[in-house]
Structure 1
Amino acid sequence: MSRGLDAHVHLWNRATDPQPWIDPATMAAIDRDFAPGDLDRMLDSTGLDAAVVVQSSNSVAETRRLLAHTSPRIAGVVGWIDLTADVAGQLDELDDPEGLDPAARRRLVGIRHLVHIDPDPDWLGRSDVGAALGHLAARGLGFDLVVRWWQLPLAATVVAARPGVRFVVDHLGGIAECDDDAGWEAGLRALAARPNTYAKISGLAGLVGDGDTDRLRRVADVALEAFGPERLMYGSDWPLAELSAGAVRWCEVVDKLIGELSPAERQAITSGTASAFYGLGT
C-alpha cells in the first residue's frame, strides 16, 4: 500500500494520559509510550503518507495534547469532549486561538466517546447525547462509533434519528470480539443502510494473528457489499495491531482483500473515503 492514509491510530504518553487497560503481562508489545516519531516509523514501514490520530481516553486534556503535535504526518485528530455537557462551550475552548495555534485547531476532524466500555450500556441512546451529535454536525465534525457488536442495533437507531450527522463505525462494529457472526452481520447491514454511515476496516489484525483467514474474507466481503468502497476506509488500529499480526502484516492483508477492486475503488479505501469523511486537505 502506498500513498495512502491510515484512518485509525493512537498515540499516548502514560505520564499524562494513563492507559490502565494495558496489561504488562499479556500486552508487552504496547506496554510503553507512543509518540509522533514512532508513528513516522510505522507509516514508513507500511508505505503510507499520514494518519488520523484517534483519542484513547475520555479526556479533553488528551485531545488538546494530541492537537498540539506538529507532525505533518498527523492529518487530523479525532478527539473527545463530554457530549452530556456544554458541547458548544467545549468546542469553543478547543477553537480558542490563545490555547492552540490555527493549524492545530484545524486538525480537530471528529469526536469519539468510548461507548463500548461506558458504564451505561445505553449511553449512546441518551437524549442529551443525541442533541450533542447535532452540534457536532453543525461544526462539520463527524462521530466515530466504537461499539460492541451487540450494541449495533442501538447505534442503528441513533444513526437513523440523526440523518444530518456523519458517523463512522470503528473496527467494523467489534467483529473481532464477536461470537455471533450472523447477529453482527445483521447489525452492520442495518447501519450500512443509512447513507450517513461509513466504516473502518480496522481493529481486525487479531483475526490475521489467529490464522482465521476464511472468516476475515467473509467479514471483508460483508463490509464491501454493505458499504461499498466509497464508504469504507483503511485503519491499522496501531499500536494495538502489534498485539497480533502487526501493522505491516495487516496492511499487506488488506491489500490482498481489496486486490480485485478497481484502482479507483482501492484508492477510495486507502485514502479517498477517509479524506472526504474527515474533510482533510480542505
Structure 2
Amino acid sequence: MIKIVSDSTCDLSPELVERYQIEVIPLHVLLGTEEYLDGRNITPDEIYAWADKNKTTPKTSAVSMEDASTAFAEILENYDGIVAFSISAGMSTTNNVLRLAAEEIGASDKVRVIDSMNLSTGVGHLVVEAAILAAKGASLDEIEKAVLDYRPRVRASFVIDTLVYLHRGGRCSGMAALAGGMLKLHPKIVVKDGAMLVDKKYRGKLPAVTLNYAKDMEEQLLRAKPDRVFITHSGTDPAIVESVRSYLESLHHFDEIIETHAGSVVCSHCGPGTLGVLFID
C-alpha cells in the first residue's frame, strides 16, 4: 500500500484528512519571535489580530527536516511507499525539504515528492485524487503519472477582500500596480505555473463581487471534472459562502461541493474575506 502525505497548505479539513487517510506535515508560522505549527496551535483569527496590531504580515517557513524525516520513517514501517505533495516550489522551500528528508533516511526510491505548482485546495485536489488511487491499490508509478496528468488542469483562483496582506507580503505579481487602489479593488488572484498573479479586477461590495467571480467561470465549471469542487475561504461571511454554494448547486454538475477553511499559512498572506472556487478542468 502507498501512503499519501501533504504539507499543511493543502487546506483539507480534518474530516477529509480522516476520510482519505492522509498524513499532513505542518508548515511554520512566525509571529514575531513566537513560532507556531500551521493547523496545530494557531488559528487564522489569531494571525489577523497579530498582523493588524503589528501592521505587518506574519512570516511563514517550510516544514522542518526533522518533522518530514520522522514522518517518512514512521510511515515506511507500515507502507510500501509514499507520494508526498508540497505547495508550489516557487512559493516555499518545502518541496526541497521533503526531497532531502527522503534522502536523509535512505528512502528516495520509496518516496515520490510532487511539486503541486499550486496552493491551498489546488494542492488538495491532487492529494485527494492520489489518495483515491492509493486506496484502490495503485503503485507509486501509477499515482505519480495520474497526478502529474491532473496537475496542469487544476484551476485555483481567489477573490480578495483586502489587498493589505498580499501587499505587505509581496507575494503576488502585479501588486505594485494595484497599490494605489488598494481600498477600492477586489482582484481575482490566479495560480499559474506555480505563481500567484493578478487577473481580473472587480469593483463593488464583496457579496456581489464574489458571486460574479464564480459566475464568470461558468463555462469552465460546466466542463470541470465532476467529482468535486472546493469552496475555500479564509473566514468569509457565511452568507457569501452560501450564495456561492447555491450557485454551484444550480449548475447540477458536481457530485460534491466541499467547503474548507484556509489554513494559517494561506490566511497569513491572503487575509480575511478571501474566497476561492477550485476545480480540475
- So what's the TM-score if we normalise by structure 2? 0.37
Larger RCO: 1 or 2 (CA < 8 Å, sep 6+): 2
Larger Rg: 2
Relative to the length of structure 1, the TM-score reads 0.37
**Higher fraction of helix:** 1
